[in-house]
Chain A
Amino acid sequence: MITCKTSREIGGMGHPIKRKEDIRFIQGKGRYVDDIKLPGMLHMDIVRSPYAYARIKHIDASEALKIPGVVAVVTGKDLEKYNLHWMPTLMSDTQMVLPTDTVMYQAQEVAAVIATDRYTARDAKEAVRVEYEPMKPVVDPYKALEPDAPVLRTDKEGKTDNHIWHWEVGDREKTEAVFRSADVVVKEHMHIPRIHVVSIETCGCVADYDKVNNHLTMYMTTQAPHAIRTVIALVAGHLGLTEEKIRVISPDIGGGFGGKVPVYPGYVIAIAVSFLTGKPVKWIEDRSENLQADSFARDYHITAEMAATREGKILATRFKVLADHGYTDAAANPSKFPTGLFSIGTGSYDYDTAFMEADAVYTNKPPGGVAYRCSFRVTEAVHAIERLTDSMARALGMDPAEFRMKNFIKKEDFPWKSPTGWTYDSGDYHAGLKKAMEVIGYDDLRREQAEKRKKGELMGIGISTFTEIVGAGPSRDFDILGIKMFDSCEIRVHPTGKAIARFGTKSQGQGHETTYAQIIAEELGIPAEHIQVEEGDTDTAPYGLGTYASRSTPTAGAAAAVAARKLRDKARKIAAYLLEVSEEDLEWEPGKFYVKGAPEKAKTIQDIVFAAYTNHPPGMEAGFEATHYYDPPNLTFPSGAYICVVDIDKETFEIKIRRFVAIDDCGNIINPMVVQGQVHGGLTQGLAPAMYEELIYDEDGNILNGTLMDYLVPTAVESPRWETGHTITPSPHHPIGAKGVGESPTVGAPPAIANAIVDALSVYGITHLDIPITPYKIYEALKAKGVIED
């Protein structure tokens, strides 16, 4: 049950108020980066490599430069003069802005053409002649580790192999001991495919350098404008472009999902060109470039094992990961976490022994390791544990729901310390699964399935009961390039009682303009409709690390609540002064302070704010403003129980999702409409890699599906009608008890779908299929099993 403490007029937490930002979007008045047009603006297009691995012998721009309207062609050699040809990644690796001699993946940036309009730039790109000497690329990450594999990163002094890093957590010896003596052990090899976020808006920027004032305004598609400003200052500071001279503006963003966290070469080249020409430079990548070159997500090869007793008690898990990062580690994780929060992979189950290790390798593929609507690497971890859980239940002959119920961490055992070191804040996993089972009619479905199996029909039921880990994060562990992962809110209330609030995060569709206003409305009683929320301009917003990994509510949302509470404390003082009583004699109810026992003696928040400007108590600072930088004491741990039912055509193996019930627990709910919308969207983005999406490369490193004709983003037809609900277990440490929700469904849905499909096919002895599970993949698996002949 969602309860509201404020009236609908105030519109605090729990009210499904309509979104403020929609007004402009539904009328075509959003302002996205490609909508920005500045006087004298130049357009940039990028020449890209047709080869996955090649030496650049020669770049001939002469024909391109003859085209009227072409201003310049920029190569790595040009950037080298300014020491701008390489840049750091967020993981302290290095990435080429433009190559001086070698290209490392197909579609890598080779040169940039600058022209007075977009069409001319496109023609000039075609006219640039590049001579390559192709080399045999390393595409398979396992082969990359073989002793005779060519060393790809010859730019790194002393590098003798393609290994990037090794990471491990847990107790290796203890885990091995448990596995040696366990009754039952299951093991699955799984690949979590390389996928792409495909926000409907691609990436782009307008770099506007003002030579006269030595000032750069950078409009760009970024989820983390402040961090980007700092990165630009680190990269270009030696040219005099220091941080105070840089203003990053992230306008309306057409979806991010992690793909708009990294700094792409195109941004840096645009800045360099604007810096050199003194003119605004627009760069908007097209979809093919976006798919082929921008950061990928996932691409984890996982060997996952679970040990249990014969009675069905989980004893231990062990994961071994090979992470394919492409030619550089351009993941967007907190710096101390090369595998992100993968160590959440012990799951929702009560056992005390685990060991996980990972190794990362370089290959001739695009760099990355971003989120795809997922907290850092949590999807990979959850997929592994939830698939494994099903495999174990099957090995034990237990129903997968019963097996989960038997092993869940109990509600009363929170806060619960996981074997990999996390302290889960709260949860009620039994309640979530029970509700999902009731809603979907689990027992009836199992009976129906038994009947169908007798008739040879393929029906499957899949469960996923996941624990997320979001809200990075506490400053003791979490930073990006040294900057702690707090987030911020600044509230200014105007004399008439209306407010503007600014944040270090940046919405890309999450609805911050509405939900943040609701948090402040809840705390101050100022109607949400009178609280204007602003993000994305580094000149005005307080510093923050941005929006990704479901961190906005846990960090900036908390900052909003704390900043508002600071103001409420001030309001109490002013009210006491105005009512001539002591502060202790005042009671708060949303929107006003009144004297205990005399509710008619009251001052509304509007009265109080007005007084802060017109009649503030002697000795008190005038005005009504507060700022808070919130450093979370812990992460938050949303959870969910998902059940999926599939029917599979036994001749064509077409998969139909008949029903999908998602019960989420994201703690207290700020706006149920927005939360539900986030869940719906996340579920479709979970469906996508489960059944449709994967970036596919051939052995020469050519991408085989680099457009949306072959990279299969689900439409409204593939996407089923999601049935969603919730249980509410507030986070005990978060100021408003919220946990974050944007990514839970993307994390939880793939194993539910995979488990349902594998459940249907288990009659043929299938225990695992890698996602995306397509009819063709089922066909191949059944053929391999000898179930079908043709």
Chain B
Amino acid sequence: MTRDITVTINGEQHTVAVEPRLLLVHLIREKLNLTGTHIGCDTSSCGACTVLINGKSAKSCTILAVQADGASITTIEGVGTPEALHPLQEGFRECHGLHCGFCTPGMIMRAMELLEKNPNPTEEEIRWGIAGNLCRCTGYNNIVKAIQYAAAKLRGEETPSTEPEFV
């Protein structure tokens, strides 16, 4: 049995008929063709599917689409534009915070809320703040750096150097 739900995704309203069991991530990826949100596990362990629901970072593989009825959702496609990247997108590129790019949308979406709540996080706060997002490529050093870069930029401060630092 399907039911109609209405969600606003990246500012655009969609009314879609869905089965109750449809996972939000599949609504986003399969029905609305926004494939920037990824799936990396079955157990809400990896965070690749992270989106914002009414501003809160959420694992869209563990939320039913029907639960999002009436909600405002932001996915990576709704962050920045090619002409004006979001400071986090810029930070991830400038600081080499990604390799294969598969975890990156989820990381960025998680970091959006992190910086919203804590505009000047310490390294430890960032590490704990992204503990629900797995990255297998980068070793996290540069993800931390990317988020610090974005934090500085969002605070209107000068961004730290993005040159690699060697011992």
Contact = CB atoms under 8 A, between A and B. Distances in A.
The answer to A–B direct touch (Cβ < 8 A) is: yes
Interface of A: 16, 18-19, 21-32, 34-35, 37, 118-119, 197-202, 252-257, 286-288, 439, 508-511, 661, 663, 672-674, 676-685, 707-709, 713, 715-717, 719, 721-726
B101 A287 contact: no
Interface in B121-158: 123, 126-128, 130-144
B99 A509 contact: yes
A34 B39 contact: yes
A253 B82 CA distance: 22
B123 A253 contact: no
Contacts, number: 205
B41 A707 contact: yes
A680 B100 contact: no
Interface stretch (B29-37, B52-60, B65-73): B29-37
A228 B79 CA distance: 37
A21 B101 contact: yes
A359 to B, nearest CB: 32
Given A254-B101, A287-B41, A719-B140, A28 B77 contact: yes
B40 A252 contact: no
Given A27-B82, A200-B100, A201-B40, A725 B166 contact: yes
8 contacts: A25-B104, A27-B80, A28-B76, A34-B38, A201-B40, A677-B142, A685-B136, A713-B134
Contacts of A287: 40-43, 46
Given A200-B134, A287-B41, 15 more contacts: A26-B76, A27-B76, A34-B35, A119-B19, A200-B103, A201-B100, A255-B137, A509-B99, A509-B101, A679-B139, A680-B138, A681-B136, A684-B139, A715-B134, A716-B143
Task: From B76, B132, B144, B164, name the one whose CB has the most chain A CB atoms within 10 angstroms.
Answer: B164
A439 B105 contact: no
A684 B19 CA distance: 40
A573 to B, nearest CB: 39
A199 B140 contact: no
B45 interface: yes
A553 to B, nearest CB: 15
A32 B29 CA distance: 12
B92 A716 contact: no
Given A34-B39, A252-B101, A16 B164 contact: yes
A439 B167 CA distance: 7
Nearest to A31: B35
Given A16-B163, A26-B108, A28-B34, A254 B100 contact: yes
A35 B30 CA distance: 9
Contact of A681 (B22, B126, B137): B137
Nearest to A511: B99
Nearest to A122: B21
Contacts of B136: 197-200, 255, 257, 681, 685, 713
A708 B38 contact: no
A32 B139 contact: no
A576 B151 CA distance: 54
A29 B143 CA distance: 19
B interface, how many residues as a size bin? 35 or more
B102 A201 contact: yes
B88 to A, nearest CB: 8
Nearest to B35: A35
A725 B167 CA distance: 5
A708 B166 contact: no
A717 B139 contact: no
Contact of A253 (B22, B76, B77, B100): B100
Rank and list the top 3 A-B pairs by shortest CB-CB distance, nearest first: A28-B36, A25-B101, A509-B100
B46 A682 contact: no
Contact of B96 (A673, A683, A717, A726): A673
Given A16-B163, A27-B77, A680-B140, A508 B100 contact: yes
B101 A681 contact: no
A676 B100 contact: no
Contact of A722 (B99, B131, B139, B163): B139
A200 B141 contact: no
B43 A709 contact: yes
B105 to A, nearest CB: 5
B26 to A, nearest CB: 8
Contacts of A24: 101
Nearest to A678: B99
A255 B39 contact: no
A677 B19 contact: no
A674 B132 CA distance: 25
A21 B98 CA distance: 10
Contacts of B7: none
Contacts of A685: 136, 139
Interface centre among B33, B37, B39, B144 (most CB of A within 10 A): B39
Contacts of B43: 287, 707-709
Contacts of A723: 167
A680 B139 contact: yes
Contacts of A676: 96, 164, 166
B17 interface: no
A24 B76 CA distance: 11
A486 to B, nearest CB: 25
Contacts of B105: 28
B48 interface: yes
A715 B76 contact: no
Contacts of B33: 37
Contacts of B96: 18-19, 673-674, 676-677
